[in-house]
Structure 1
């Protein structure tokens, strides 16, 4: 885990991304997808560092996927540091962020509250 890469504007975990050897994270401004990222554009227009700081309940862009949406809700409830702590602990316990491609253990949910419970406990 590259904790210093943190969490992307949309809630994805740059710190665990399999692309982080090529990408220096969303907050660096050097993300290769920054031109098309709807969440980046929206949060910048609103003057926000990230979607989790927004008061609107939103499913724009990557927030229409369970992992970034659930991570965003987790941060709103418990904070960024708590999410990073849980992700780090879970990684050490064998929970995989990305397997082949971009899917991993955090993608196996269709309900944000169940995903959040999994993040907190590391158990299904």
Structure 2
């Protein structure tokens, strides 16, 4: 885990991403998705660093997917440090962020609350 990379604007965990060796992040100016990323554009236009700082409950862009939406909601409730602590603990306990391509153990959910509980406890 590269904790210093933290959480992306949309809620994805840059700190655990398998692409974080080559990716410099949302704000680097080098992001290959910067021209189409709706969450990046929206948060920049609102002058906020992350979607979790916004008061709106939206499902734009990547927030239409369970994982980034649940991670964003987790940070709203408990803070980014607690999310990072949980992700780090879970990784040490064998939970994998990216197992096949960009899918891993946090992707097999269809309920936001169930995923938030999994993040908190590391148990299904």
Question: Is TM-score (shorter-chain normalized) higher than 0.5?
Answer: yes
Could you tell me whether the CA contact under 8 Å between 1:16 and 1:97 is conserved in 2?
A: yes
Aligned to 2:17: 17
Q: Does 1:70 align with 2:70?
A: yes
* Deviation of 1:65 (Å): 0.4
Structure 2 stretches of 5 or more lacking a match? none
1:90-121 C-alpha deviation (Å, 9 max, x unpaired): 00100010011111110111111100000000
Cα distance in 1, alignment partners of residues 29 and 91 from structure 2: 26
Unaligned runs of 5+ in 1: none
What is the distance in 1 between the residues matched to 2:13 and 2:36? 18
Q: CA RMSD in A?
A: 0.9
With 23-32 and 82-91 compared, the bigger mean Cα shift is at: 23-32
Contact persistence 1:8–1:27 (CA under 8 A):
no
Cα distance in 2, alignment partners of residues 81 and 36 from structure 1: 28
Question: In the alignment, what sits opposite 1:80?
Answer: 80
> Which whole-Å deviations, capped at 9, do the CAs of 1:71-105 have from their partners, x for residues lacking one?
00000000000000000000010001001111111
The CA deviation at 1:32 is: 1.9
More helix by share: 1
The alignment status of 1:61 with 2:53, answered yes or no, reads: no
CA distance in 1, matches of 2:24, 2:92: 22
